[in-house]
Amino acid sequence: MIPMVDLSRQYAAIKGEIDDAVGNVLQSSQFILGPNVSALEKEIAADLETEHAVAVASGTDALILALRACQIGPGDEVITTPFTFIATAEAICHLGGIPVFADVEADTFNIDPDDIERKISPKTKAILPVHLFGHPAAMGPIREIARKHTLRIIEDCAQAYGAGYDGRKVGTLGDCGCFSFFPSKNLSCCGDGGMIVTGDAETASQLRLLRNHGSAIRYHHQALGYNSRLDELQAAIVRIKLKRIAAYNDARRRNADLYRRYLTHPQVIVPREKADCFHVYHQFTLRSDRREEIMEALKSAGIASMVYYPVPLHRQEVFQTLPSKGLSLPKAERLAAEVLSLPMFPELTEPEIAQISHVINHIH
């Protein structure tokens, strides 16, 4: 049996360090906003080469708080991709904003800058690109559009810790970068967690208020905030994995190269890295018009595969009250019908990749 992700292999390799760190936090009895959270914030800001990092309770909260700090509110339009996890657009809606879906590029699965331009209206306040599956969105053109129309950029980096565009890390190319430490993400904890990075000191202090009930001094509240803090146990765990994140991402890239070498089926399109981009392969996602047969063959061979995502957001039931109801986004719709993600994690081995590819190559 080969699963999509096997976290037990990672734990086995770092068990001693993780168990010690968890033991130390339990011994310290300091669980909320303590030394591990502050240290992790400094380490992530340094690793991504930006000024500020603010830890929060999840990737979803990172998006909500970042949108709040960028002054997105009722009636504001935020242009985003329909081909992503629901949280991206959910966050916009929770603030009373309106997600406006632009179509995607078929090769990177990411939002198409040309369609962003077409979707701009007088109500547009921000662009929310997602670096889907670990491949950076087209941040050069997106930044140019934002500059021209004075729009904010909030990057959804939940799947892309360590990805790069033009020599810079994703998350540092807009006003705020939002990360998730959900267990299956490239950089993860053992529960829920998230981080927002920003180059702007004012935005960072706003985010610190928002995550802690609008309070800088205990029992004095300046803003209507949230309870959205990362806890010390999770921060201690992320710190251990952060030391190894470059090696983890390199192993994912090596595995992607191996898949490309072994997969030879003529009706399978493999993902590639665009020029000036550094892909971190959160997923290795094929396109094929024979997807269902491939899934069946893999399943019979005891190999997991998953469709991320079968329904684009503009077609989700929950969003049928939005102005985008009835909208046609042909590329996103086509991808939803063709994509298939294969097992991908740093510890996946070459023999496993050969075995998975062999099953696919032998479909006639």
Ligand X SMILES: *Cc1c(COP(=O)(O)O)cnc(C)c1O
Q: Can you give the binding site for ligand X, defined by CB under 6 A?
A: 58-60, 84-85, 87-88, 130, 156, 158-159, 180, 182, 192, 194
- CA-wise closest residue to 9 among 357, 344, 360, 334: 344
CB of 193 to ligand X, least distance (A): 7
CB of 158 to ligand X, least distance (A): 3
Q: Between 194 and 258, whose beta carbon lies closer to ligand X?
A: 194
Residue 267: count other Cβ atoms within 10 Å of its Cβ: 14
Q: Between 58 and 324, whose beta carbon lies closer to ligand X?
A: 58
CB of 272 to ligand X, least distance (A): 20
CB of 181 to ligand X, least distance (A): 7
Q: Between 85 and 226, whose beta carbon lies closer to ligand X?
A: 85
CB of 91 to ligand X, least distance (A): 8
Q: How many Å is the Cα radius of gyration of the chain? A: 20
CB of 152 to ligand X, least distance (A): 18
Q: Between 41 and 156, whose beta carbon lies closer to ligand X?
A: 156
Q: Between 228 and 357, whose beta carbon lies closer to ligand X?
A: 228
CB of 251 to ligand X, least distance (A): 20
Q: Between 56 and 360, whose beta carbon lies closer to ligand X?
A: 56
Q: Between 60 and 357, whose beta carbon lies closer to ligand X?
A: 60
Q: Between 17 and 90, whose beta carbon lies closer to ligand X?
A: 90
Angle between helices 201-211 and 59-69 (to 10 degrees): 120
CB of 224 to ligand X, least distance (A): 21
CB of 64 to ligand X, least distance (A): 10
Q: Between 53 and 130, whose beta carbon lies closer to ligand X?
A: 130
Residue with smallest beta-carbon separation from ligand X: 59
Separation CA 211–CA 237 (nearest Å): 20
Residue position matching structure tokens 């089926």:
265
